[in-house]
Amino acid sequence: MSAHRREGFVLATAVGIVGVTFGVLADAAGLSLAQVVVMSALVFTGASQFAAVSVVDTGGSGIAAVGSALLLAARNALYGPVVARVLPQAWIPRAGSAQFVIDETTAMASVQETDDDARDAFWWTAIWLWSLWNVGSIGGALLGSVIGAPETWGLDAAFPAAFVALLAPHVRKRPGQVAAVVGAALAVAFTPIAPAGVPLLVAALAVIPGWLVGRREAAV
Amino acid sequence: MLVVGAYGLKVFGVLVLGRPDSTLGARLESLTSLIPAALFAGLIAVQTIGGDETLMLDARVWGVAAGSVAVWRKAPFVVVVLIAMAVTALVRWQT
């Protein structure tokens, strides 16, 4: 198996275990198995699903659940232009492939050197991730609270660490470094004062200082 | 509603923001190529020290720090993830 397919599988395995947690939480919040299946297969953006379920669990309204989930899903729109080049050109397959444009697939595609590798990495990550996320959440919903908290296994550190590896190729040059530092600072600054999802939308503004630095370097 | 909204956002990104031949897309290329750097760094920060609308430092910080060292030492991807998990689990178990 080539490196990026293997890495996609590693990431998807961790995501699958988180899917189990999602299934357990959804079950505890009173969602039916059918609702869990529909959510994981069709919403397919983990952070949003967790947000929706936790709002429902704490007695929030359906509108509040959808609102906070969509704030978290909004960054997927920003990933569109990043991966657009390696998606099918024809209209209908292109629209279909959009379903798989999320953090993990964008990250795996964006660290490849060639377009062919990026396309391959995108689709293999998408297939592994979608399969294991669904198997995990169905398993969690069925097994309920039999399984211990994933925090015991340090799983909550698996994602940020994986993304450090996926960030590395993007910060080799100055504009990327500036965008990353400003993005992290903005996300941290807005976390205590804004609803979940908003800090990352604000972090996207960090592309502007990064771009300015790049332009100034090009002018010198 | 959530299904339609979540998919709608993704489609909007791919079909509108990511149109292959749009002059807007070409002009924004230098901006959009920086999106992964900005968003992934934000994501790492939020997932490492973020709580429920608060900031909190716990065992994750040690795990992510150890994982970052592994990245810097050019360790394979799976090793990075496993080191981060092991260190976090260990620190959490010890405290």
* B27: closest CA of chain A, how far (Å): 12
Answer whether A188 sits within 8 Å of B67, measured CB to CB. Answer: no
What residue segments make up the domains of chain A, in order of their start? 3-151
Return the residue of B nearest to A172 by Cα. Answer: B37
Is B71 an 8 Å CB contact of chain A?
Answer: yes
Share of chain A above pLDDT 90, in %: 50
Mean pLDDT of chain B: 87
**Closest Cα of chain B to A219: distance in Å?**
15
Here the ipTM equals 0.90
Residue of A nearest to B87 (CA): A154
pLDDT digits (tens, 9 = 90+) for B44-87: 999 899 887 888 899 999 999 999 999 999 998 889 989 999 99
- Six-digit token pair at A113? 């050197």
**What's the pTM?**
0.84
Query: A107-150, pLDDT tens digit by residue?
Result: 999 999 999 999 999 999 999 999 999 999 999 898 866 666 66
Tens digits of residue pLDDT in A72-105: 888 899 999 889 989 998 889 999 999 999 999 9
Q: Where are the alpha helices (DSSP H) in chain A?
A: 3-28, 33-38, 46-57, 62-73, 75-83, 91-97, 103-110, 115-143, 155-167, 174-190, 198-203, 207-219
Average pLDDT over residues A208-212: 94
Are the beta carbons of B77 and A165 closer than 8 angstroms? Answer: yes
